[in-house]
């Protein structure tokens, strides 16, 4: 039962161990791709400038708290 839920994780680890461990380490260390040490390393590896995608959700408001209504 519990192993059935973890089987996709083990399958990804078996197929791509280096990228899996890299993603796991960056998540565990809470590294962001836009931060300078990681960004500069990615630029060296890729040979180009890395710019992470920016997504902002503001629903028409730029600052301040938003109110919601629950029916």
Summarize pLDDT for 12-27 with one digit per residue, the tens.
Answer: 888 888 877 888 888 8
Half-sphere exposure of 66 (CA within 13 A, CB side): 9
Q: Which residue has the higher pLDDT, 43 or 56?
A: 43
pTM summary value: 0.38
pLDDT at position 27 is 84
Tell me, yes or no, whether 64 lies in a domain.
no
Tell me, yes or no, whether 68 lies in a domain.
no
**Structural domain that includes position 35:** 16-49
Tell me, yes or no, whether 41 lies in a domain.
yes
Tell me, yes or no, whether 59 lies in a domain.
no
What six digits make up the tokens of 36? 């300078």
pLDDT tens, position by position, 54-64: 666 655 656 67
CA distance 60 to 65: 12
Tell me, yes or no, whether 44 lies in a domain.
yes
Tell me, yes or no, whether 26 lies in a domain.
yes
Tell me, yes or no, whether 23 lies in a domain.
yes
Q: Which residues of 1-33 are buried (b: 16+ CB within 10 A; e: fewer)?
A: eeeeeeeeeeeeeeeeeeeeeeeeeeeeeeeee
Tell me, yes or no, whether 28 lies in a domain.
yes
For the chain, what is the domain count? Answer: 1
Considering the chain, what is the average pLDDT of its residues?
A: 75
Q: Quick one: pLDDT band at residue 1, thresholds 50, 70, 90?
A: low
């Amino acid at each position: 039962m519990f192993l059935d839920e973890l089987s996709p994780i083990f399958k990804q680890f078996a197929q791509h161990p280096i990228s899996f461990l890299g993603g796991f380490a960056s998540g565990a260390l809470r590294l962001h791709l836009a931060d300078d040490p990681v960004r500069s390393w990615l630029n060296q590896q890729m040979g180009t400038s890395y710019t992470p995608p920016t997504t902002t959700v503001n629903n028409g408001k730029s600052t301040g708290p938003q109110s919601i209504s629950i029916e």
